[in-house]
Structure 1
């Protein structure tokens, strides 16, 4: 069977209660649950959480919360793959054999069911042993990036590229922070996402927005309303 796991702990620091905060009329996590259920790929859509309010909202949105996430996987230092691994182990022990897993972040209001479907098709068609994850392009060549030193002065990371035209530099990609398809075995063996065994499902930049700060939140709401008005999201 295929399952979706949506990790959503209660202890968000930069934006308190982020996962269940109202985003354009719905709790933020509702968008991820809605997309997972709309694509009809999953036998179970499970939210992994340690928080009772998140549990109640997830259930109201149609997701399952059959276990409480262990405390050691709900602190500020917990990373994604061990959280998904624990969920897969629980499902295999209590429900049945898991074939493929999609980790879907709870903070992805632009996520679309067709992207989940297309990425899954890529995972199966290419027999990917790692992951197929959402990605997008950097808006500016990373080879010409610079840092600001403690003195306030700047320094290029790669000074050799100062005179290179932007169009002559290799395009770079970044994690879009929406979803990560993989086999149960990939998660159980704790493979890293960004390896040579993985493939990127590339999304247009206007369909991607991290939500880590209040400024990100405001920008995401404005983008969401524009995308909805334009018919780019359902």
Structure 2
């Protein structure tokens, strides 16, 4: 029987170029990151919510929202070139050094404020036996139907298939939405060294409207519109 905890990690670097300060920009009455923290805190399966950041303003906002910020992220893990998996592994290893036994890590993207606590709980139940569960949404485009690649001759061709199949007969394809990653502990350690696709991955499907990832001002404004439409402007949510 498992004796370790399931925890949430939230990685929020201060140096956003697309929308400076986005993680603490006010979204529906709260700093953007506070929405993800509230969703994690409302999920009973999670034993702790930990934020990794290099920015003291983000750290303060995260603590005010109820998360734990054990340290400010080292500079070498806060560059544009630093991968996310080593950042999560660094946090988990730190917690383990403090005597916390961890079995699963739910990494939540702070720029995906439209997920709900119920999505986190559902993702935790997906893919029994999978090393990693990732949240996805049905893709707008399909490589069998309207995604094309340019060849050496300068001409474009379908990425997959020959275009003969009916659209309704084609396999469903999904896009990673970045919102939720449920890692088994050993898989995270392996992927931090060898890459995400080196482990067995199962999907958790989310609707498109919940899958907005905020990177630009236009994304932010669109997410605000969706939040107001589905939850009511400023409505508190877990």
- Which residue, 179, 200, 203 being the options, matches 1:200? 203
Which residue of structure 2 lines up, in the alignment, with residue 190 of structure 1?
191
Q: 1:7 to 1:158 in 2, by over 3 A?
A: closer
- Which residue, 126, 129, 141 being the options, matches 1:127? 129
- Larger mean Cα displacement after TM superposition, 222-231 or 51-60: 222-231
Q: Show structure 1 runs of 4+ deviating over 6 A.
A: none
Given that 1:105 and 1:177 are in contact with CA atoms closer than 8 Å, whether structure 2 keeps it comes out as yes
- Which residue, 8, 14, 20 being the options, matches 1:16? 20
> Structure 2: which 5+ residue stretches go unaligned?
none
Which residue of structure 1 lines up, in the alignment, with residue 41 of structure 2?
37
Q: 1:206 to 1:96 in 2, by over 3 A?
A: same
- Which residue, 61, 66, 70 being the options, matches 2:65? 61
Which residue of structure 2 lines up, in the alignment, with residue 114 of structure 1?
118
Q: 1:3 to 1:140 in 2, by over 3 A?
A: same
2: CA distance, partners of 1:57 / 1:184: 28
- Which residue, 97, 100, 123 being the options, matches 2:104? 100
**TM-score by structure 2 length?**
0.86
Which residue of structure 1 lines up, in the alignment, with residue 174 of structure 2?
173
2: CA distance, partners of 1:199 / 1:148: 27
1: CA distance, partners of 2:61 / 2:28: 16
**TM-score by structure 1 length?**
0.88
Q: CA deviation at 1:163?
A: 5.0
Q: 1:142 to 1:227 in 2, by over 3 A?
A: farther
Coordinate RMSD, CA, aligned: 2.4
**Count of residue pairs the alignment pairs up:** 227
Q: Which SS does the other structure have where 1:101 is aligned?
A: strand
